[in-house]
Amino acid sequence: MSAEQIYWQASDPAENRPEKAPDRVDIAIIGAGYTGLSVALHLARAGRHVVVFDAGGIGSGCSSRNGGMVGPSFHKLGSAGLIARYGEAKTLAIMREGIHALDYFEEFVAGNGLECDLQMRGRFRGARTLADYDAMGRETDWLSRNLGLPVAMLPRAEQHREIGSTFYHGGAVYQRDGGIHPRKLVVELAQAVRAAEVQIVPHCPVSAMRREGATTMLQTPQGTVTAKEVVVATNAYSDGRTPALHRRIVSIRTAAVASEELSPQLMENLTPQKRMFGESGRVFMWFRPTPDGRRFIFGGRIGNPGGALEAQRKAFTKSITRVFPQLSDVRLSHVWSGNVAYTPDHSPHLGFVDGVWLAGGYCGSGVTRSVYFGMKLARKILKERDSDTAFDDLPFQRVPFKPFSDRAANVMTKWYAHLDARDLRRNRNTD
């Protein structure tokens, strides 16, 4: 079986030079992705002695494998689900936090001069069925009225202005969304962190931790490191070595593909406004043009992520041509997969849990959240003002029957895909 190829890594590999870990440190961070590097940067600029460990290379997990789509990242439950669970006041606070995170992300990228191809061109989310279009309309109306979000519904007769497809029954245009080059962001973050005199120690897993009085002893291949504080930022790549987070998230494997280079005319037909794309559905596909506008990337829980690459290509081709029949003969040049962290309450979390600081559980919307949560977590550690978030008082519960959670997630994905297919059949019968 041929090795997977990650499109983003083809352009700018991060510097993973060997480094010697210190014997003692103020704060040890486990995980050199967006979250860990964001925390490290803020702590170092506040004068703390920080070291970042990673079992792999810098950003080798989801920070180099994601779709690079940014936005307010509201909540998987939607406004109605949140109100039913938490009430209207808490729902508004959680939703506003997403807007704060996006505002901060844009300011952070610009203020630190991070060259990551940030392009705020909006997102079109297609409605697979008429019922989905009606539900989407209610949600966008709520977002517009209560949060002032610039979002508008587009009927099927007008969707050609946004997408070269007749598959959807209209959809919503979210103006405050956009995209980045995810690998470039993690490389730029790592450079900023090292410029702040933080040591990043790649390919150096922390195999065990034990608390001794006011310090924590971390076991690594280089020996024992003594830290006053520990931050766990492993997210979907958590395992038994980082139990505080591992017990509270479910890692779900997802996949992505990149097309070969397409003609300018075809790219213009697919995305007249050069937007990001999503769709309704329980198991949905996201897609977007690459930052250079020459290819398309598609992703989601399609096929058997992490399995045989040719089978993965075939599964994506089926999903892609459902939306874009004009791509039936286009070759998929890159195929890769990665883990996404979900939580029992569908919310991200941050704070002090089981003796360590942690942030994660982004539920597939982690680019803006991770950078923002990294800043907020650093402020909590430093006991600074303005460290609060709307997620602080949400209990971060353990995953029930954790040893079986991955298997259960796979079963649920298949069941949801079955329900989606049923809804599409019913919708065709009513067209």
- Domain ranges in the chain are 1-118+179-249+343-399, 123-175+253-338
pLDDT for the residue numbered 14: 61
Q: For residue 11, what pLDDT band results from cuts at 50, 70 and 90?
A: low
pLDDT for the residue numbered 2: 59
Say which residue, 282 or 346, is predicted with more confidence: 346
What would the mean pLDDT of 379-393 be, rounded to a whole number?
Answer: 96
Q: For residue 101, what pLDDT band results from cuts at 50, 70 and 90?
A: very high
Given a cut of 50, whether residue 49 has pLDDT beyond it is yes
Given a cut of 90, whether residue 147 has pLDDT beyond it is yes
Q: For residue 423, what pLDDT band results from cuts at 50, 70 and 90?
A: confident
Residues 6 or more apart in contact with residue 279 via CB below 8 angstroms: 125, 126, 127, 128, 168, 171, 285, 286, 323
Phi first, then psi, for residue 212 (nearest 5°) are -135, 100
C-alpha to C-alpha distances, 156 to 168, 267, 358, 430, nearest whole angstrom: 7, 20, 44, 15
Given a cut of 60, whether residue 428 has pLDDT beyond it is yes
Given a cut of 80, whether residue 286 has pLDDT beyond it is yes
Q: For residue 226, what pLDDT band results from cuts at 50, 70 and 90?
A: very high
pLDDT for the residue numbered 376: 98
Q: Roughly how many angstroms between the first and final C-alpha of the chain, as a whole number? A: 43
Residue listed under structure tokens 């103006």: 175
What would the mean pLDDT of 217-233 be, rounded to a whole number?
Answer: 96
Task: Give the count of alpha carbons within 13 A of 417, CB side only.
Answer: 14
pLDDT for the residue numbered 12: 57
Task: Give the count of alpha carbons within 13 A of 107, CB side only.
Answer: 8
Given a cut of 90, whether residue 420 has pLDDT beyond it is no
Average pLDDT over the chain, rounded to whole? Answer: 93
C-alpha to C-alpha distances, 407 to 103, 309, 403, nearest whole angstrom: 37, 21, 9
| CATH class of the domain whose range is 1-118+179-249+343-399 | alpha beta
Q: For residue 430, what pLDDT band results from cuts at 50, 70 and 90?
A: low
Beta bridge partners of 178: 70
**Nearest residue to 194 via CA among 40, 354, 308:** 40
pLDDT digits (tens, 9 = 90+) for 148-202: 999 999 999 999 999 999 999 999 999 999 999 999 999 999 999 999 999 999 9
pLDDT for the residue numbered 274: 97
**Nearest residue to 129 via CA among 427, 417, 418, 425:** 427
Given a cut of 90, whether residue 208 has pLDDT beyond it is yes
What would the mean pLDDT of 328-356 be, rounded to a whole number?
Answer: 95
Phi first, then psi, for residue 199 (nearest 5°) are -85, 130
What would the mean pLDDT of 18-39 be, rounded to a whole number?
Answer: 94
Given a cut of 90, whether residue 131 has pLDDT beyond it is yes
**Nearest residue to 280 via CA among 164, 179, 168:** 168
Handedness of CA 233, 236, 237, 241 (dihedral sign): positive
Q: For residue 416, what pLDDT band results from cuts at 50, 70 and 90?
A: confident
Do 123-175+253-338 and 1-118+179-249+343-399 fall under one CATH topology?
A: no
Burial-class residue 20 by CB neighbours within 10 Å (0-12, 13-18, 19+): exposed
Given a cut of 50, whether residue 1 has pLDDT beyond it is no
The pTM assigned to this predicted structure is: 0.94
Look at the domain 123-175+253-338 and name its fold: D-Amino Acid Oxidase; Chain A, domain 2 (3.30.9)
Given a cut of 80, whether residue 78 has pLDDT beyond it is yes
